[in-house]
Amino acid sequence: MIAVQGLAGARVAVLGLGRSGLSAARALAEGGAVPLCWDDTPSARERAEAEGFQCQPFRDARDFDGIARLIVSPGIPHLYPAPNPVVAAAYLAGVPVDNDIGLFFQSFATSAWHSFDVAPRVVAVTGSNGKSTTSALIHHILTDVGRPCQLAGNIGRGVLDIDAPHDGEVVVLELSSYQTDLARSLTPDIAVFTNLSPDHLDRHAGMGGYFAAKRRLFAEGGPDRAVIGVDEPEGRYLAGQLSEGPSDDRVIRVSVEARLTGPGWQVFARKGYLSEYRKGKQTASIDLRHVPGLPGAHNHQNACAAYAACRSLGLAPKVIEKAFHSFAGLPHRSQLVGEKDGVKFVNDSKATNVDAAAKALSAFDRVRWICGGLEKEGGLGALGDAPTVRKAYVIGREAAGFAMQLPVEAEVCTTMEKAVAQAVAEAEPGDVVLLAPAAASFDQYDNFEKRGDAFVAEVKKYL
């Protein structure tokens, strides 16, 4: 556990008692603070009270008398579409609002580091798509070469639940826009920006607010090195803002859409080959076409970002390449479930927005596409013509309306059971039955993992 520093003896309010909220309460108590907790759900309060934490409501500004800080869980709105009433009361009372990520960066370094030969480092990864795979891949590479490391944040353990770092250890964090938007302290050593596409727009009042939340990791944190995906205008803008000039190698530009040139540091993938260029000269090349855990251009982008981060940590290209081949991928992210009679079944339930789904579709030549769910803002226009799709099988409560927007032949199936059964019945050797919903899961499932599990269960009936 990372004990929170700087708040010993202070009364600190904690709003939301899920994984991150309870973790924050424990870390605050470990550091000598007095956490006062609240969650609207009685069962959540009961869990906190069972651990010995005091629960009390915060109805208005007067309830914040004597409170040093409010710690808010990531799912609770703090600004858009409207602040949660407790957060609004804290603002009125002048109480600083923070989250567990802010507490982590405030508390990560300790006096114990004075005895270390190599100070621990933090690699923080954000972006719309690919941040989980990129984070897990960085962690896998470091583990493969024997470098001590931990994986936390939006993937793996809560940031305050990790062990106190050892000499030379690397902590890899996946951070969502919800987490970077509110954290009062953001100081990673290496920060990674994968890409940007419309997502969570209601929570950030549009694309500008969404990008601003991601940008805070770089603008507020001032990382020693920034790895920036430059295939969107926002990434190119961010790289330009952080760089002192074309040869400034503190910024590593990453692309899967263009061959990057210039005197700086670039990593890009073209036609399945990853290339690294520094000072205008190629320094490494890796064939990604036969890396089983990283299929498709979108995963090649993840590979480029992870490669750049690991090169920043001093790893050699050959050891990174070796680790690529043993990376199994993550569940629900281009996960190969199985193959039968020449038909592959791939679970990409994490493709919850249109851009992620489009990238998943482009990874295969002949797709039987299972899609649908709770449609997000912006519609489905970014899919384009979806040329690799032979037919779509649409699930979700609003399946008919979703199907009408698709640029391909579509059948309304509503349920996962029917969609898989129909895709299996019509699939031919060489086809890929792909779950890439391009939508949230909450109309039918608690989360994308449950949706992916449902797909896997139906496929296994056939396999």
CA distance linking residue 129 with residue 197, whole number of Å: 8
Q: Is 107 annotated as a binding residue?
A: no
* pLDDT tens digits for range 213-230: 999 999 987 899 999 999
Structure tokens at 17: 């008692």
Q: Is 347 annotated as a binding residue?
A: no
Identity of the residue numbered 256: V
* pLDDT tens digits for range 293-310: 898 888 999 999 999 999
Contacts of 448 (CB under 8 A, 6+ apart): 332, 349, 350, 352, 437, 440, 441
Contacts of 317 (CB under 8 A, 6+ apart): 276, 283, 284, 286, 307, 311
Q: Give the pLDDT band of residue 415 (cuts 50, 70, 90).
A: very high
Mean pLDDT along residues 201-220? 94
Identity of the residue numbered 336: L
Nearest residue to 350 (alpha-carbon basis) of 436, 459, 450: 436
Residue 295's pLDDT is 87
What is the CA 61 to chain-centroid distance, rounded? Answer: 34
Give me the residue label for tokens 């600083």.
96
What end-to-end distance do the CA atoms of the chain give, in Å? 43
What dihedral do alpha carbons 345, 350, 353, 354 form, nearest 10°?
Answer: -20
In Å, the largest CA–CA distance within the chain is 68
- Residue 272: other Cβ atoms inside 10 A: 14
Q: Is 94 annotated as a binding residue?
A: no
Mean pLDDT along residues 337-360? 93
Where do the CATH 3.40.1190.10 domains begin and end in the chain? 108-325
CA distance linking residue 450 with residue 152, whole number of Å: 21
Share above pLDDT 70 across residues of the chain, in percent, rounded to a whole number? 100
Helices (H), 15-130: 19-30, 42-50, 85-93, 100-107
CA distance linking residue 244 with residue 249, whole number of Å: 9
Distances (CA, A) of 239 to 198, 206, 212, 230, 394: 20, 21, 14, 8, 39
378 pLDDT higher than 80: no
The lowest-confidence range among 79-83, 198-202, 321-325, 431-435 is 198-202
pTM of the model: 0.88
CA distance linking residue 170 with residue 253, whole number of Å: 22
Where do the CATH 3.40.50.720 domains begin and end in the chain? 11-98
Q: What is the DSSP string of 152-215?
A: EESSSB-GGGSPPP-TT-EEEEE--HHHHHH-S----SEEEE----S-SHHHHTSHHHHHHHHH
379 pLDDT higher than 90: no
Residue 383's pLDDT is 85
* pLDDT tens digits for range 105-136: 999 999 999 999 999 999 999 999 999 999 99
Residue 382's pLDDT is 76
Residue 126's pLDDT is 97
The top-level CATH class assigned to 11-98 is alpha beta
Q: Is 99 annotated as a binding residue?
A: no
Give φ, ψ of 208 to 5 degrees: -60, -45
What is the CA 94 to chain-centroid distance, rounded? Answer: 31
For the chain, the average pLDDT equals 95
**Segments of 246-322 assigned E as strands:** 251-255, 265-270, 273-278, 281-287
CA distance linking residue 386 with residue 363, whole number of Å: 11
Share above pLDDT 90 across residues of the chain, in percent, rounded to a whole number? 89
Residue 203's pLDDT is 92
- Residue 85: other Cβ atoms inside 10 A: 11
- Residue 30: other Cβ atoms inside 10 A: 14
Q: Is 110 annotated as a binding residue?
A: no
CA distance linking residue 386 with residue 407, whole number of Å: 7
324 pLDDT higher than 90: yes
- Residue 370: other Cβ atoms inside 10 A: 28
SS3 assignment, position 221: coil
Residue 345's pLDDT is 96
Distances (CA, A) of 5 to 47, 66, 110, 159, 223: 25, 18, 9, 14, 22
CA distance linking residue 459 with residue 453, whole number of Å: 10
* pLDDT tens digits for range 242-285: 999 989 999 999 999 999 999 999 999 999 999 999 999 999 99
Structure tokens at 332: 């629900």
CA distance linking residue 329 with residue 332, whole number of Å: 9
407 pLDDT higher than 90: yes
Is-contact 346 368, C-beta < 8 A? no
Helices (H), 313-440: 317-325, 354-362, 399-404, 416-426
* Fold topology of 335-462: Protein-Tyrosine Phosphatase; Chain A (3.90.190)
Report the DSSP beta bridge partners of residue 277: 266, 282
- Residue 166: other Cβ atoms inside 10 A: 13
* pLDDT tens digits for range 71-99: 999 999 999 999 999 999 999 999 999 99
Where do the CATH 3.90.190.20 domains begin and end in the chain? 335-462
What is the CA 255 to chain-centroid distance, rounded? Answer: 18
Query: Does the structural domain 108-325 have CATH classification 2.60.40.3880?
Result: no
Q: Give the pLDDT band of residue 156 (cuts 50, 70, 90).
A: confident
What is the CA 400 to chain-centroid distance, rounded? Answer: 30
Residue 328's pLDDT is 84
377 pLDDT higher than 90: no
